[in-house]
Amino acid sequence: MKLGILKTDAVRPEWASNFGEYPDMFTALLGRVDSSLEFVTYDVEEGEYPGDVDEVDAYLITGSKSSVYDDKPWIATLMDFVRTLDARKKKVVGICFGHQIVAHALGGKTAKSSKGWGVGRHTHRFDAIPAWHDGGESDFDILVSHQDQIVENANGATVLASSDFCENAVVQLEDHILTFQGHPEFVSGYSREIMELRREAIGESVYANGVASLSKEAEGDRVARWIVSFLRG
């Protein structure tokens, strides 16, 4: 299977040498689960897209510091591409910004949450167990970094997992689109770097709780297995 990674942001240069760019993070994460996967990166922020939608078997939309409602031409172009992928029933996985832009493009809405920033390790719980799930615990821990949240889901979307902080944490549309608000590709060190950078913006209490939450590992590899199961299902 060939997976097209739609890159929607660049890692800060001072961090990239330690953590890689976002496509590197996903390649490492998903490659640990399925070494047969092939990866192609399209920098959509720079206008890079496949010549043909079927150039790859499936797509993954990364996270971004941008908001999906920002008035940026590349975001409008990406939303059009999401609509094309949906119409063609191509498999799509969205992560954080990718999760939100799918909703925004397909009839939903994303906005800044009145609950403020979500950072560090959060626990999300499945209310419905999908076919690609491993059948284990319904709770899972995932690293998060977001102030925006989906406030209205895409037309026909099913919410699979949520938390008190994030009502729309895992969302699926039919059998071809799956999105996560959290970041399975993040490692604790990268999560901490982002919290340090945004410490003033997120507030001291949220920052302290976020850093403390990193004492326990998130379940990125488990989420990666779900993603691969979904893509191959």
Q: Which residue is associated with the tokens 């390649």?
A: 27
Q: For a pLDDT cut of 90, what percent of the chain falls above it?
A: 100
Tokens of 233: 């299902």
Nearest to 57 by CA among 4, 98, 99: 4
Catalytic residue status for 96: yes
Length of the chain: 233
Q: For 62-119, how does the pLDDT look when each residue is reduced to its tens digit (9 = 90+)?
A: 999 999 999 999 999 999 999 999 999 999 999 999 999 999 999 999 999 999 999 9
Q: For 12-35, how does the pLDDT look when each residue is reduced to its tens digit (9 = 90+)?
A: 999 999 999 999 999 999 999 999
- Output the pLDDT for position 205: 97
As a whole number, mean pLDDT of residues 212-222 equals 98
Q: For 31-54, how does the pLDDT look when each residue is reduced to its tens digit (9 = 90+)?
A: 999 999 999 999 999 999 999 999
* Strand stretches in the chain, DSSP E: 2-7, 38-43, 58-61, 91-95, 109-112, 118-126, 139-146, 148-152, 157-162, 170-173, 177-180
Cα-to-chain-centroid distance, residue 133: 17
Q: For 174-195, how does the pLDDT look when each residue is reduced to its tens digit (9 = 90+)?
A: 999 999 999 999 999 999 999 9
- Output the pLDDT for position 114: 95
Catalytic residue status for 183: yes
CATH number, domain of 24, equals 3.40.50.880
- Selected catalytic residue, list 122, 183, 193, 219: 183
DSSP letters of 22-73? HHHHHHHHHHHH-TT-EEEEEEGGGT---SSGGGSSEEEE---SS-TTS--H
- Output the pLDDT for position 168: 98
Catalytic residue status for 217: no
In angstroms, the CA 233 to CA 230 distance is 5
Q: For 77-91, how does the pLDDT look when each residue is reduced to its tens digit (9 = 90+)?
A: 999 999 999 999 999
- Selected catalytic residue, list 21, 96, 122, 166: 96
Q: Parallel, antiparallel, or unpaired: how do β-strands 157-162 and 38-43 relate?
A: unpaired
- Selected catalytic residue, list 21, 45, 146, 185: 185
- Output the pLDDT for position 128: 85
Burial of 73 (0-12, 13-18, 19+ CB in 10 A): exposed
As a whole number, mean pLDDT of residues 216-224 equals 98
Q: For 124-176, how does the pLDDT look when each residue is reduced to its tens digit (9 = 90+)?
A: 999 989 999 999 999 999 999 999 999 999 999 999 999 999 999 999 999 99
Nearest to 210 by CA among 118, 97, 140: 118
What is the reported pTM? 0.97
Count of the separate structural domains present in the chain: 1
Domain that holds residue 108: 2-232
